[in-house]
Structure 1
Amino acid sequence: MSETGVIHDIGYQRYTGPRLTRGAAINALYVHGLRAAFGLGRSAKAKIFPWLVAGVALLVAIIVAAIKSQVPEFNFGYVDIDNQLSWMIVFFVAILAPTLVSRDLRSNTLPLYFSRPLRAADYVIAKFLAMVTAVWLLLGVPQFIMFLGSAFTTKTGMTGVWHEIKELVPGWGYSLIWALLFTGVGLLIGSLTGKQAFAAGGIVAIFLMTIPVVAVLSQLPSSAANKMAGLASPNTLIQGFGNWVFGAQTGIDVGRYGPIYAIEAFCLIAVCLLLLLARYRKVAAL
């Protein structure tokens, strides 16, 4: 007795639509990460913290803009607001980085990502850019609010507006350095564990535990050690860089060691990116 097979046509058809490139996949990950940073498309609970931080940052900017409009000699620049919001940024990064990378590790979605023509470098780039954008917006938008307040209340016309623009652009550049460094550190730590609470605690610990080191080094009798004490913590590292490049009121006296702060800041960003890439290449190879 012979058996014969029967092929049934149940209506399946081949995909005939456009086939998107790796760039489209990177863009999709970037947009998803940026939306997740502010809780968009997620539950109301996920929106509370990021929008609370954003609201406080905007409130500080509005208060500063109001004071500057009434007291022209009030010396508080665009770069100074970054330093005042530094610890808020630390906690924002501690919540955001695990959201972007730790959840993927915990839910085992990375093998699904890498089963497509998506490389480890593409994943790192998309997540890194999403977080940099989110942190930069958190600092850059309040600076723009300050600019609007100063531009519309200036008494010197377009000359005053142009002066504010020249002050705003370096402020945005300073915010970008904050975003790059904090994103690198945050994502690197977040990528090491799938447990968001552990990742968040590790990120905060890095910033908290290095502050006492800076305090100890700043009390040494050596003048060079005092000036370079800020190199021991990411937070004071950026503030020292801002003091040297932008003249920010940071309380960190870098003296003639400003270039060393700049070199370490950019090297730290590069090292974090390289370690992130190595980490996800290892994951993709599993």
Structure 2
Amino acid sequence: MSEPTGVIHDIGYQRYTGPRLGRRHVFGALYLHGLRTAFGLGRSAKAKIFPWLVVGAVTVVAAGLTAIRSQLGEVVMTYAQFADSMSWLVIFFVAVVAPELVSRDLGSGVLPLYFSRPLPRSDYALAKLLALATALWLLLGGPQLLMFLGAAFTTGEGMRGVWNELLDLLPGLLYAGLWAAVFASIGLLVASLTSKRAFAAGGIVAVFLMTTPVVGILSIMPSQTVNELALLASPSTLVSGTGAWALGDLLFPPGQGGPPIGDFGPVYAVAAVALVAAAVALLLTRYRKVASR
């Protein structure tokens, strides 16, 4: 019987002996990576162009509004109205960022690597969703903070004026959170359906923009009830209707006509919550199927 001739060479590989941080830290790392990806941080210069172009646009608008207010002493646009006026930029921001967050992973086939470690499929989807929602909230809330600082430094009422400005700012930030929740949940769901980023971006834009004509058609129907419920047909107008009911004069001061929602304000609020919940549930279902392949 011959002796074995194989030789095992020690080339210096060692077992990992450091701390194993577990699920919570994996979730946090994935969330932070997603948030950085949303703004192109840690990526090529090309990836930074569009996100920071949008950031620059909303910042310039906020700076202009602040300058006008400081010179004329009049509020041209409230904090809550700022989120409404920037909604079209939010749509395109979601259309570009959401595919970067999830469609790229689907196309590159890295999901089995993610799920081979203690990262539940739901954690992956929720971390990406939270990252996109945070990016959208910062996109709308950051300029509002700039407007607040400008108003606080130019108010002639001292700390009382600063406090009043803060009370106006907080509803605006909450309203920005509503925009972020609705747009992030729908945008990420659509993007998760395809690994082609171009298709995902087109689908997101279509969902938000192609539903708007439906609102227009319903709003001219002869039934007043249908007119008052018309804004439910589009995510953008759904958010506006919810904001009109929840914020009232903060969003549409007296003299400015708000959306005709009648007494259906609570219906809009329930519909917004249901829409977000349904989109998140479908997103989690989607990733349970993706991981099982």
Q: TM-score if structure 2 supplies the norm length?
A: 0.95
Read off the aligned partner of 2:236 and give its amino acid letter.
N
Distance 1:63 1:275 in 2: 40
Moved more, 46-55 or 4-13: 4-13
Q: How does 1:1-286 map to 2 (within 5 A)?
A: 1-4=1-4, 5-247=6-248, 248-249=251-252, 251-286=258-293
Q: Give 5+ residue unaligned stretches, structure 1.
A: none
Paired amino acid for 2:274: C
- Taking the aligned partners of 1:8 and 1:210, their CA distance within structure 2 comes to 65
Task: Give yes or no for contact 1:243–1:253 (8 Å, CA) kept in 2.
Answer: no
Q: CA deviation at 1:251?
A: 4.1
User: Distance in 1 between the 2:114 and 2:3 partners?
Assistant: 42
Runs of at least 5 residues in structure 2 that lack an aligned partner in the other structure: none
Aligned partner of 1:3: which letter? E
Provide the rounded CA distance (Å) in 2 between the counterparts of 1:205 and 1:221: 28
Where 1:8 maps in the other structure, the secondary structure is coil
Alignment-mate amino acid for residue 270 of structure 1:
A
Q: Secondary structure at the match of 2:210?
A: helix
CA distance in 2, matches of 1:93, 1:11: 46
**Secondary structure in 1 matching 2:185:** helix
**1:124 CA displacement:** 1.1
SS at match of 1:168: helix
CA RMSD of aligned residues (A): 1.2
**Counterpart-to-counterpart distance in 2, 1:9 and 1:55:** 55
CA distance in 1, matches of 2:3, 2:288: 49
CA offset at residue 221 of structure 1? 1.1
Q: Is the partner of 2:12 in helix, strand or coil?
A: coil
Matched positions, count = 286
Structure-1-length-normalised TM-score: 0.97
SS of residue matched to 2:263? helix
Question: Does the 8 Å contact 2:100/2:197 carry over to 1?
Answer: yes
